[in-house]
């Protein structure tokens, strides 16, 4: 037997103001669109903003449904919207923020497993890493240089 060691690296920003200006703008838009989340069941609101290589910004917020799991997370709403409206554009950067209606979220909240897999599909398809910045309602922001940091043993079409 042998062990495989997988390590990841994240950059940590103490505040939104410490982010590069384009990412500050992206995160501010994610914070704003978070307010549009339809989250009557979880009371957990998420906003996502994507920067595409054509300069467009695509937004998404989570949309729940009483018939679980019919709703969608903010990240997938934004990624699928980008794929539908700008099918030839590459996703360069993604900002994600999450807040609870019941308690303040202070830790960075990464994408869930389903969103990681969906983002991976686009990162592989476009053959360009997607920078992902994520935070709670307040507090530090984590930056991942690629989805592969969040899902190092990803499943893709090469396995099919």
pLDDT in tens, 31-67: 999 999 999 999 999 999 999 999 999 999 999 999 9
Q: Which of 14, 18, 32, 75 is catalytic?
A: 75
In a domain, residue 6? The reply is: no
Residue 60 located in a structural domain = yes
Give the residue numbers of the binding site for Zn(2+): 73, 112, 115
**Within a domain: residue 4?**
no
- Binding site feature residues for substrate: 62-68
Average pLDDT (70-99) is 97
CB 95 within 8 A of CB 58: no
Query: What is the total count of domains within the chain?
Result: 1
The enclosing domain of 146 has a CATH number of 3.40.140.10
Residue 3 maps to a domain: no
H-helix or E-strand containing 121?
helix 113-126
Helix 21-34 vs helix 74-85: crossing angle, to nearest 10: 110
Q: What is the CA radius of gyration of the chain?
A: 15
Residue 145 included in any domain: yes
Nearest residue to 118 (alpha-carbon basis) of 132, 104, 107, 105? 132
Backbone angles phi, psi at 70, to 5 degrees: -70, -15
Write down the pTM of the prediction: 0.95
What does the pLDDT read at residue 149? 93
Residues 6+ apart with CB under 8 A from 11: 142, 143
Closest to 134 measured CA to CA, from 121, 123, 143, 124? 143
Residues belonging to the binding site are 62-68, 73, 112, 115
In a domain, 160, yes or no: no
70 assigned to some structural domain: yes
Task: Give yes or no: 18 in active site.
Answer: no
Q: Give mean pLDDT, residues 134-149.
A: 97
Task: Evaluate whether residue 115 is within a structural domain.
Answer: yes
Q: Which domain holds residue 27?
A: 11-151
């Amino acid at each position: 037997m042998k062990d495989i060691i997988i390590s990841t690296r994240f950059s940590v920003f103490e505040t939104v103001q410490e982010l590069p200006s384009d990412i500050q703008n992206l995160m501010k838009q994610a914070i704003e669109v978070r307010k549009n989340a339809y989250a009557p069941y979880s009371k957990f609101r998420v906003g996502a903003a994507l920067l595409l290589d054509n300069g467009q910004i695509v937004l998404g917020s989570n949309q729940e449904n009483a018939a679980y799991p019919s709703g969608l997370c903010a990240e997938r709403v934004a990624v699928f919207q980008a794929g539908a409206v700008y099918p030839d554009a590459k996703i360069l950067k993604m900002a994600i923020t999450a807040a609870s209606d019941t308690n303040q979220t202070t830790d960075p909240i990464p994408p869930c497993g389903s969103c990681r897999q969906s983002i991976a599909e686009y990162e592989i398809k476009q053959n360009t890493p997607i920078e992902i910045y994520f935070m709670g309602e307040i507090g530090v922001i984590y930056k991942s240089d690629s989805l592969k940091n969040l899902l190092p043993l990803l499943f893709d079409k090469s396995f099919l």
